[in-house]
Amino acid sequence: MIAQPENSQKMTAEEYLEWEAKQEFRHEYVDGKILAMTENNIPYNNIVLNFFTALHSSVRQKGCRINVLDAKVQDAKNNRYFYPDLVISCNADDLKSRDFIQHPSVIIEVLSPSTRGYDRDDKFKYYRQFSSLQEYVLVDSESIYVEIYQRGEGRMWLYSAYTEGEDFTLSSIEFNCAVDVLYEDVSFETEEQK
């Protein structure tokens, strides 16, 4: 989830970290620009929580770490900082870290109308630069639809899409789940439709 740039003034990574620590709301940092995080609705929140709940025990049994919403992912090589909706790391350094996840295995973004294009294009371009990243998952918040990009050979990424009644697998963490689990108690009906 990301909004428009907070301001047009560029900051260094060090300035960003100092400034962001004092902010009430979260901000991502990409190539010197500050990007304010957007607020989301209840269906979005329910999808994030459902995915976390489904993953939690499986990830912990494998000795990995799962974080939700407020965990900052650092791309130290490019001085970029992100707040994915969910991030899983099995790296020993990340398991001990208090500040950043630097070696994500799986990154999950729940798409909203305002972030759909950014998460699908630019953010995926940035995330692919993490050599540790094995899977990038996009979950639609307005319909039942899950997309998974899995790292293949070389620069290749394999794409799969799933919908209602189907199961998907995150191979890197040996996790299988029904798409419907992610959408439990999620209503797509708006106030105007009632």
Q: Which of the 8 DSSP states describes residue 37?
A: P
Using a pLDDT cut of 70, give the percent of the chain over it.
Answer: 92
Extents of the domains making up the chain: 40-187
The rounded distance, in Å, linking the Cα atoms of 31 and 23 is 19
Model confidence pLDDT, tens digit, residues 124-133 = 999 999 999 9
- pLDDT, averaged across the chain: 88
Model confidence pLDDT, tens digit, residues 34-44 = 888 777 788 88
Contacts of the segment 24-27: beta carbons below 8 A, 24+ positions apart: 26/70, 26/83
Unique residue bearing structure tokens 């029904």 = 178
Q: Is the pLDDT of residue 49 over 70?
A: yes
First to last CA, the chain: 27
- Report the pLDDT value the prediction gives residue 175, as an integer from 0 to 100: 96
Structure tokens at 163: 């919908």
Structure tokens at 20: 């962001």
CATH number of this structure's domain 40-187, picked from the four choices 2.60.40.10, 3.90.1570.10, 1.10.2020.10, 3.30.310.40: 3.90.1570.10
Strands (DSSP E) contained in 76-192 are 80-82, 86-89, 106-111, 135-140, 145-151, 157-163, 167-170, 175-178
The rounded distance, in Å, linking the Cα atoms of 118 and 28 is 13
Using a pLDDT cut of 90, give the percent of the chain over it.
Answer: 58
